[in-house]
A and B are shown apart, each in its own frame.
Chain A
Amino acid sequence: MKERNSFGKIILIAAVILVLLFLYFPVVIVALYSFNKDSINSFPMGGFTFHWYAVMVHNQPLTTSLVNSVEVAFIGTCIAILIGVPGALGMHKYNFPGKKALEKVVILPMMLPGIITGIAILTFLEMAGIMQGRLAVILGHSTFLIGTVLPQVYTRLRQLDRNIEEASQDLGASGFQTFFYVILPNIKTAVFGAALLSFSLSLDEIPVTYFLNGVFTTLPIRILAMTRNGFTPEINAICTLILLLSVFAVIFSNSISKKDEVYAKNTH
Chain B
Amino acid sequence: MPKILIKAENLYKSFGSTPVVSNMSFEVYEGEFLTMLGPSGCGKTTTLRMIAGFVNPDRGVLELDGQDITGVPANRRAVNTVFQNYVLFPNLSVRENIGYGLMVRKTEKKEMKKRVDEMLELFKLELFADRKPSQLSGGQQQRVAIARSLINRPRVLLLDEPLAALDLQLRKHMQFELKELQRQFGTTYIYVTHNQEEALTMSDRIIVMNEGTIEQTGTPQEVYNSPRTVFTAKFLGESNILPAAASGISIPDDQKNNCMVSIRPEFFHITSDGRADLPLSGEITEVTFLGNIYRIGVRLSTGQTIYVLEQKKNLTEHMHVSVSYDREKLTFVSQ
- In this complex, the interface size class of chain A, counting residues with CB under 8 Å from chain B, is 20 to 34
Stretch of A112-120, A143-151, A178-186, A215-223 lying at the B interface: A178-186
How far is B133's CA from A164's CA once the two chains are assembled, in angstroms? 13
**In the assembly, what is the distance between CA of A166 and CA of B79, in Å?**
13
Beta-carbon contact of B89 and A182 below 8 Å: yes
A253 at interface, CB cutoff 8 A? no
Q: Tell me the minimal C-beta distance from A189 to chain B in angstroms.
A: 11
- B90 adjacent to A166 (CB under 8 Å): no
Chain A interface, >50% SS class: helix
B91 contacts A186, C-beta separation under 8 Å:
yes
Please tell me if A161 contacts chain B, counting CB pairs below 8 Å.
Answer: yes
Let me know if A267 and B133 touch, CB within 8 A: yes
Q: Which of A169, A172, A181, A263 has the most CB of B within 10 A?
A: A172
- Given A174-B75, A174-B104, A167 contacting B90 (CB threshold 8 A): no
Asked if A172 and B105 make an inter-chain contact with CB atoms under 8 angstroms apart, the answer reads yes
Contact of A185 among B80, B91, B133, B134 (CB under 8 A): B91
Instruction: Provide the bound-state CA to CA distance between A173 and B105, in Å.
Output: 7
Q: Is the CB of B315 closer than 8 A to any CB of chain A?
A: no
Asked if A266 is at the interface of the complex by the 8 Å CB criterion, the answer is yes
B134 touches A182 (CB 8 A): no
Q: Does any Cβ of B come within 8 Å of A171's Cβ?
A: yes
Give the residue of B54, B89, B103, B149 whose beta carbon is less than 8 angstroms from that of A164.
B89
The count of residues in chain B whose C-beta lies closer than 8 Å to any C-beta of chain A is: 28
Q: From residue A5, how far is it (CB to closest CB) to chain B in Å?
A: 40
Judge whether B101 and A171 touch: CB under 8 Å: yes
Contacts A169-B74, A172-B152, A263-B134 given; does A161 touch B104 at CB 8 Å: no
- Which listed residue, A169, A185, A263, touches B73 by the CB 8 Å rule? A169
| A152-175 interface bits toward B, Cβ cutoff 8 Å, 1 = contact, 0 = none | 000000000101101111111110
Residue A64 lies at the interface, judged by CB distance under 8 Å to chain B: no
Counting CB contacts under 8 A, is A177 at the interface?
yes
Cβ–Cβ contact B91 & A171, under 8 A: no
Quick one: given A164-B87, A185-B91, are A172 and B81 in contact (CB under 8 Å)? Answer: no
Q: In whole angstroms, how far apart are the Cα atoms of A169 and B105 in the complex?
A: 11
The interface centre, meaning the residue of B53, B85, B100 with most chain A CB atoms within 10 A of its CB, is: B100
Distance between B82 CB and nearest chain A CB, rounded to angstroms: 10
Whether B52 is near chain A, meaning CB under 8 Å from some CB there, is yes
Task: Please name 7 pairs of A and B residues whose Cβ atoms are closer than 8 Å in the assembled complex, sorted by A.
Answer: A166-B81, A166-B83, A167-B83, A167-B89, A169-B75, A170-B52, A172-B104
Closest 10 pairs between A and B when the two form their complex, measured CB to CB: A266-B134, A171-B101, A185-B91, A173-B104, A267-B90, A167-B87, A163-B87, A267-B134, A169-B74, A169-B75
- Give residues in A with beta carbon < 8 Å to B: 161, 163-164, 166-174, 177, 181-182, 185-186, 263-264, 266-267
B residues touching A (Cβ–Cβ < 8 Å)? 52-54, 73-76, 80-81, 83, 85, 87-92, 100-101, 103-105, 133-135, 148-149, 152
